[in-house]
Structure 1
Amino acid sequence: MSSLSRRLLLRGACAACAYGGLGHAGLAQTGPFPAKPMVVKMAFPAGGPADVSIRAAAVVLQQSLGQPLVVDSMPGANGSLSASFVSRTKPDGYTLLGTTGIDFLVAPMTIASAKYDPVAFRLLGVAGISDFVLVSSAAHQFKSVDELVEYAKKPGNKELSIAHWGTGSAPHLVAADFQARTGVRFLEVPYKGAAPTIADIAGGQVDLTFVPLGGPTLGMIQNGKMRPIALASPQRNPALPDVPTVGESRALKNFDYSLWAALLAPPETPEPVVARLTAAMNDWVLSPENQARIKTNASRRLDPMTPAQASAFLRNEHEKYVRVARSLKLDPQ
């Protein structure tokens, strides 16, 4: 067993013992948490950026918690299917939600069937955070936002399509804001998740999409399967030094969007359970495995958070993206 594994297991055992003395009337078990395997209901199909981040974190979480952590894909309705399911589960820490921030926070405003309160959930930690990048299929040669906007506005040019994974999804909001602020119009093509969206961009079935730079995106850009146009970030990324930011264009300023993948517990999860799971997520944030992923996929990390800091972060992000969704006047589907 590696020194990291021994350290995480020791920390998990100590935290579990501490938890055992706290107790909670709403819990069925009376012993240390966790006492059995846990399941993460993953809101998007396997292979997408969020799924990859959560599965990577799960390896360290299992070491920290001393119990198996099964990631079970439950996609549908822009991630709201799994969120709604988890919101109704017993809040004992054994059924968790893996999802992406924007999709999770905005779905109740855009999906009629999304009957849950995002800020009632307990954010346990962020597995990874990645800036969005505007990419095209390899069939196009756009090198900047200005070139793309000029082409899209020129009469007689072919209408370009832009993919996203459903109304109110993260790339849909980003693309809608981009179109609203530049005055261009694209043919929108919805998918069920990031993985099929990326696959069809690589295959040339659609022209454009906004995708997070982390996950498989960077490798596909480096392999020439998709072409980067601009980053939706304040600064250029060292992994793609020649790719400009959207803000460097004449057409659009202050266009910053990122996608964070997170683990959440259902509403009313007891504080001791939240604290234990948050500590495990902090183990992931600080782990060598996470640092290695950040270096290889050009993503970023947030600092470790206490449960109170995580709740404040969730509320702030909710307020931010609700404002964006309302400004775009998106109707529930």
Structure 2
Amino acid sequence: MLATDPGGDAPCDLKGIAPLLNDLMGGQIDMAFLPMAGSIPQTVIDGKIQGLAVTAKTPHPLFKQFPAMANMKGLEAMEFDIWAGVQVHKNTPEAVVNTLNKAFYAAVEAPETRKALEGSGNLVLPSRTPAELARIYLGDIERYRATAKSINLQVQSSTRPNHERPHRRFPARQTPGPASAGG
């Protein structure tokens, strides 16, 4: 989505969060889009990286001071949420799917589970039916497919270790946008 902005360059040549975080904290890259879950919130709280904005429509409950990118001039279309769901084989009987759906939502809503999830930066969303989740999932696929097509995104492979890969930087921007987040 950011790469569709004229002057934007969005390289994706790191494999995984750990190398990405190392390069961000070490100053080898200027910025990164990171999930606000796992160790990332504590890394921001500890000041090892600086948060600038969120890609969701609304601020994150742990970081209300970071604005939504969609509210920034020139980035109105920038919305990206990471969500997780449990998937089963397409031939799983509907009754089994519904039973599993209810069981998983009950587990997530259990106070100790909810507390653990929210404590690590995850947001617990309201329960949804399998059909509602399928619509969200398919809608996301179409949106990201259209974005990839609009920038002619091509799969690239490399056999070089991460430390040997060239790191490209974002060129200077003409409009206000995210600044360097490296620490």
Normalised TM-score (structure 2): 0.70
For residues 320 and 185 of structure 1, do their structure 2 counterparts lie closer, same or farther at Cα, with a shift above 3 Å needed? closer
Which structure 1 residue ranges, 5 or more long, are not aligned?
A: 1-176
Q: Does 1:240 align with 2:67?
A: no
Q: Deviations over 1:89-140 (max 9, x none)?
A: xxxxxxxxxxxxxxxxxxxxxxxxxxxxxxxxxxxxxxxxxxxxxxxxxxxx
| Residue aligning to 1:178 | 2
Aligned length: 156
- Determine if the alignment matches structure 1 residue 197 to structure 2 residue 13: no
For 1:185 and 1:307, the matched residues in 2 are separated by: 37
Alignment of 1:1-333 (within 5 A): 177-185=1-9, 188-333=11-156
Tell me how far apart the structure 1 counterparts of residues 141 and 70 of structure 2 sit (CA, whole Å).
24
- Considering only CA atoms, is the larger Rg found in Structure 1 or Structure 2? 1
Alignment check: 8 A CA contact 2:3 2:151 kept: no
How far did 1:189 drift? 4.7
Partner of 1:160: none
Q: Distance in 2 between matches of 1:313 and 1:189?
A: 25
Q: CA RMSD in A?
A: 2.5
> How far did residue 258 of structure 1 move?
0.7
Distance of 1:229 and 1:236 partners within structure 2 = 11
Q: CA deviation at 1:282?
A: 1.2
Q: Secondary structure at the match of 1:229?
A: coil
- Answer with 192-201 or 226-235: which moved more: 192-201
List alignment gaps of at least 5 residues for structure 2.
157-183
Q: Is the 8 A contact 2:57 2:79 kept in 1?
A: yes
What amino acid sits opposite 1:179 in the alignment?
A
1:254 and 1:180, CA in 2 relative to 1: closer, same or farther beyond 3 A? Answer: closer
Identity of aligned residues (%): 26
**Contact 2:118–2:124 (Cα < 8 Å) also in 1:** no
- SS of alignment partner, residue 105 of structure 2: helix
Other structure's SS at 1:300 match: coil
Scaled by the length of structure 1, the TM-score of the pair is 0.41
